[in-house]
Each structure stands twice: as C-alpha cells, then as structure tokens.
Amino acid sequence: MADLAAPVLDVRGLKTVFHTRAGEVHAVNSVSFSLRPGEVLGVVGESGSGKSVTMMSLLGLLPSPPADVRGGQVLLGGRDLLKISPKELQSVRGAKVGFVFQDPMTSLNPVFSVGNQIMEPLRKHMGMTKAQAADRAVELLELVGIPDARRRLKSYPHQFSGGMRQRVMIAIALACDPDVLIADEPTTALDVTIQAQILELVKDLRQKLGMAIIWITHDLGVIAAIADRVMVMYGGQVAEHAPVKELFARPQHPYTRALLRTIPSISGERAARLQVIEGQPPILTAEPASCPFRARCIHSLDRCAQENPARHAVDGKPLGTGHDVACFWSPELMTEGEDA
C-alpha cells in the first residue's frame, strides 16, 4: 500500500446540486476521497447514487445551469480545480486527467477519423506538429492493442467494434500522459469476453504507466477484479470506504452487506432464493438530515432518523486511508440469530 505517498488528487467535501423544475436535487453531498499515484479506486453505487456526477463535478463537465457545484475543494497538483478559470480547467482536462465514458459510440465524434480525434489533445495540449502527433497516435493505438495502427488512423468510429472503440477512447484519454484516469463504467456496454480484454489492458497500462485510476461501476465483480480501494456510494454520499479485500471480507455498512448478498455468485454456493433490498433508492430533494438508506435498512436505529451519520474509521486509521463507514449501526450490534 502506498500509504505514505502524497495524493495526486484530493477531493474534500464536494457538494453538487441540480436545479430542476421540481426543485433542488442534492446529487452529491460532502463527498471526500483521495487518490494516490498508481492506485485504482473503485467507485460503486446504483444509478442515482451520485457516482458519475461526483466525477463530472471534479472537472467541470456538468452544464451549469442546471448543475451547481456548491462547495468543496478538488486539489490536483496543489491547485483547486473548482477555483481556476474555465480556460485553465480545459488544460487540466485531457492533459492532466483523462476521462473514459461509458458509451464509446456516443462519446466519439462520428464525422472525424479516429486518428484525428487522438491527435486533437496532442496538438492542443502538447503543442505537437501534425507529424509528431500522428506518430504518437500510432504508438497509443498500439499500446491499447489495436493491430495495424497506422492504417487504422484513417478509420472512422463506425468502422470499429464496441470493444475497439473503447480502446480508442482509452487511447485518447491516455494521449497526454495524464496523472489520473477517470473511467466511468467503461465496460458496462461491452460483452463479458470483451470486458475481460479491457480489464486486462487497463491493469497492464497501469503497470507500464503508473497512473492513478478511478473506476466507476455498478458491478462488484469488476471492482473485485481491478480495484485497490473501494468507495461505496449511496444517496449522494459515501456509505463505506475500504481496501478491496477488506470490503468484501468485512463489509460494515448495511447497504454494502445487502448489496453483496443480492448478487448471485458464478462459482460459490447457489442460494435457493436471492436476498433482496426492499424499496427504492431515495430522491434527494433536500440535503439529507437523516441517513439516506434508513428506509431500506434492516438494521435502522432511532438515531438514524434524527441525524445523518458521518464517516468514522473502523480500523483506527485516518479517514480516507483505511476502512471507514457512515453508519450508526455496526455488525457487533448484531444479536444472535439475526440475519447475517
């Protein structure tokens, strides 16, 4: 564990609100996390849990209005990204931070060749000439495992398959040697065998390039395969945060525990019946004054309705470095015979 290394990215108390016709939606509430060089932080949560909005807020990718990043700090290389000018922010995007989106079809521009799209950040951020950029683009395509790269530069996105397009997206994100790669459900739209290829590729690239990665997904299987640390989000806030093995071995938050039980296993014991989490995720029309998971929680206490639990460490390490959880309940409170 690179416990001692200074974080490349440090996010503190991030808050994002959307203004809608039905009033405000508090999509992200006081989210804090840090990312150290060379590590993979997995972010899990259901749709609407705020995981994508958090990452998009970091880089000013949300249209405003309706979005309003209301507070917090995003420190990257000593600068607060929420304070710098849009122009400076643009030089951060692409150059310092690469972003890979979920759907490789809609995030590539269909009317420009793939080569053109890889060369764009190189010429813009690195000031390369066309010839230099073309050479680098070939290098990048080879890096992400696209055969016959020089010829493929002239191809258009529709001439690539889904897995190949996602490789192109990764190549674009890597173009300027970013310190941080943010991947938002990059394999969700892909088939399992292609997903396996991309996961292998990313693990390999991280070894070669040593960059830090934030990997957003709702698939705990992918998290188990790729992440070093995991942040579980629910209702716009961090429910639990832990090193990956620790999270799967000793989940603390009732939501994490329930989530792990709802997914059937591919090789383990086959349950006669799937465990369910009753109810629906909350709609966050106001800053939550109580625990957002309370209504669906099988362990909820009186206190959960009165205040929103803050994150506290369960292993004595400082917040954000070890295992912490935002919950008043703990597995030690479990009485004999209660549902594990």
Partner 1 sequence: MLDAGPQPLVQVSDLKMYFPIHTGLLRKHTGDVKAVDGVSFSINQGETLGLVGESGCGKSTVGRALLRLYEPTAGKVVIDGQDVASLTPEALRQKRPTMQMVFQDPQASLNPRMTVADIIGEPLLEHANLDEQGRLRRIYELMDQVGLNRSFANRYPYAFSGGQRQRIGIARALALNPKFIVCDEPIAALDVSIQAQVVNLLEDLQTRLGLTYLFISHDLSMVRHIADRVAVMYLGRIAELSPRDALYARPLHPYAEALLSAVNEPDPNRARRQRIILKGDVPSPANPPKGCNFCTRCPKVFDLCRTIKPDLIQAEPGRFVACHLYSNTNAGPTGTQAPISDNQQGVSQ
Q: Choose between 120 and 219: whose C-beta lies nearer to partner 1.
A: 219
- Shortest distance, CB of residue 303 to partner 1, whole angstroms? 24
Contact assessment for residue 164 and residue 146, using Cβ atoms and an 8 Å cutoff: yes
Residues lying near partner 1 in the complex (CB under 8 A) are found at: 46-47, 161-164, 191-197, 199-200, 218-225, 244-245, 248-249, 258-260, 262-268, 270-271, 273-278, 280-281
- Shortest distance, CB of residue 145 to partner 1, whole angstroms? 10
- Shortest distance, CB of residue 232 to partner 1, whole angstroms? 12
- Shortest distance, CB of residue 285 to partner 1, whole angstroms? 16
SS3 193: helix
DSSP assignment of 89-120 equals: HHHHBTTTEEEE-S-HHHHS-TTS-HHHHHHH
Q: Choose between 130 and 245: whose C-beta lies nearer to partner 1.
A: 245
Q: Choose between 93 and 257: whose C-beta lies nearer to partner 1.
A: 257
Contact assessment for residue 110 and residue 116, using Cβ atoms and an 8 Å cutoff: no
Q: Choose between 263 and 334: whose C-beta lies nearer to partner 1.
A: 263
Mode of pairing for the β-strands spanning 9-20 and 67-76: antiparallel
- Shortest distance, CB of residue 144 to partner 1, whole angstroms? 14
Q: Choose between 80 and 204: whose C-beta lies nearer to partner 1.
A: 204
- Shortest distance, CB of residue 143 to partner 1, whole angstroms? 17
Which residues fall within 8 angstroms of residue 157, CB to CB, at 6 or more apart?
Answer: 104, 105, 108, 109, 110, 114, 165, 168
Strands in 5-114 per DSSP E:
9-20, 23-35, 40-44, 67-76, 79-80, 97-100
Q: Choose between 187 and 321: whose C-beta lies nearer to partner 1.
A: 187
Angle between helices 192-209 and 162-174 (to 10 degrees): 20
